[in-house]
A and B are shown apart, each in its own frame.
Chain A
């Protein structure tokens, strides 16, 4: 439920309103009136709302959040009228059966409220000066001009399919592109040029000479630089009317659930099964639509996984990742640059369809594309009743079940020897407890079982890919486990 309040808020009474015996978690957020805005001292704020509209927009957002995150309930109360420094301006509470949904929902609601709610604020400054009304979410909005009349988009606004309304929808959309490689580069270019208002680019890799033939945002003189950062710079130059940010991190880290919650659509442009499953599971659980593509030499496939569609999830079709090494990636099997290029473009158009609202989306199908013959084949997908997405069994990737089928991480880590598989230079910035762990750089992996005869062993690395690789290399010795999350996350269980 959503309401406006003209008098001070009492968090404990608000929490009490959400009490429910079915709830296992309550996540709350408090927005406070602070004493400065940029460099100006502020001694208070006055909020004014277009009340009936604010209430209906707020109610709608809360309803969406309840559905999207399977919440038990949610309550949002926004102050109106005069507030002092330190006062509560907004209180958000979300209850769910489990903590994850409650956390995600709380953040999602807050982000949406800031942008969508018709509430204005007027700051009064300690040193006087003109006080003007600004939209309460003004600091997060950078679009000052109407995209529908911006000449940049003139040729596309003319299309019936887009029109002024579609262009504005694009400007309000947020898209996360994970992997700025062969798929990500072309997808980013066209999404930016089409006017997607907020683009986030996530990639922890550095540009390598062997990438350049297909990762067309990068130049030869940029070898060694982070892909997300270089891509963001290019994209900003291409379209200065949108907000572009780079996350120079492997997407598979601890921030993934948060990152996918903050956007409308995620593009999976990665090149490993490990990443694909993690991204998929995070998106499905966050209720975010995923546009997923993959290529092999001169062929590719693309599909849209929409938690609100009837066609089920990725695991309905492919319940588990195949054993690594049996299916080649680009490095092993080779690839023509055009192949990911074409599939990345398909990802861009599918994303635009999702954002603007188009027919013939791949929400219920996989498109197979053969670059050489020019043939495409659309294959209908359907949900599998005994899949994890239908409930019943826990998701394989939820942290407690991550790698230790049938065993809790807590129980295992209580008496396991943890080994760090990263190289020496990666350990320099780590906290003391991580540096104290025994470690074995890649060159020594074949000697692992001899060097560490104790059991159980838990292998760790930066993001979880190498640990899996090492276990594979040693052919899954008994009682040796791969930790497929960032090494620092072990702290939660020890």
Chain B
């Protein structure tokens, strides 16, 4: 199990009902983790439609999970 710190942005925050959480996951990659969260929080978008940032940099969703990783999930946003 890997312990990670998550932040949600925009619609993801709305669906998760929180802007951050710390959890333990057995997911291998960010994409796997997001799929897990999608089922848990009822996110509408699948993993191909969102972006992830780790340590203040966009990273591919294939990035493997590491202990204490700080992850932000970002959906597309278009309001104005």
A residues with a Cβ closer than 8 A to B are 179, 181-184, 269-273, 276, 293-297, 299-301, 317-318, 321-322, 326-330, 333, 335, 340, 366, 368, 370, 373, 377-382
Contacts and interface: CB of A to CB of B under 8 A. Distances in A.
17 contacts: A182-B80, A183-B80, A294-B79, A296-B14, A297-B79, A301-B9, A301-B10, A301-B74, A318-B51, A322-B45, A322-B76, A327-B45, A327-B75, A327-B76, A328-B11, A329-B80, A368-B9
Given A179-B80, A301-B77, A380-B58, 9 more contacts: A294-B78, A295-B79, A327-B78, A330-B79, A333-B14, A368-B9, A370-B19, A379-B57, A381-B58
A327 B80 contact: no
A39 B26 CA distance: 80
B56 A380 contact: yes
A368 B72 contact: yes
Nearest to A372: B19
B51 A294 contact: no
B11 A333 contact: yes
Interface string B33-57: 0000000000011000101010011
A276 B80 CA distance: 11
B74 A340 contact: no
Interface of B: 7, 9-11, 13-14, 19, 44-45, 49, 51, 53, 56-58, 72, 74-80
Given A297-B10, A299-B9, A380-B58, A329 B78 contact: yes
Given A333-B11, A368-B72, A379-B57, A317 B51 contact: yes
A357 B13 CA distance: 35
Contacts of A270: 78, 80
Contact of A340 (B10, B14, B72, B80): B80
Contact of A294 (B14, B53, B80): B80
A138 B11 CA distance: 51
B19 A373 contact: yes
Given A183-B80, A318-B76, A370-B19, A379 B11 contact: no
What 4 pairs between A and B have smallest CB-CB spacing?
A271-B80, A296-B10, A294-B77, A330-B79
Contact of B58 (A276, A296, A317, A335): A317
Given A326-B45, A379-B72, A335 B56 contact: no
Nearest to B52: A379
Nearest to A375: B19
Name the residue among A183, A296, A300 with the largest chain B CB count within 10 angstroms: A296
A348 B75 CA distance: 24
Contacts of B58: 317, 366, 379-382
A368 B79 contact: no
Nearest to A301: B77
Contacts of B49: 322, 326
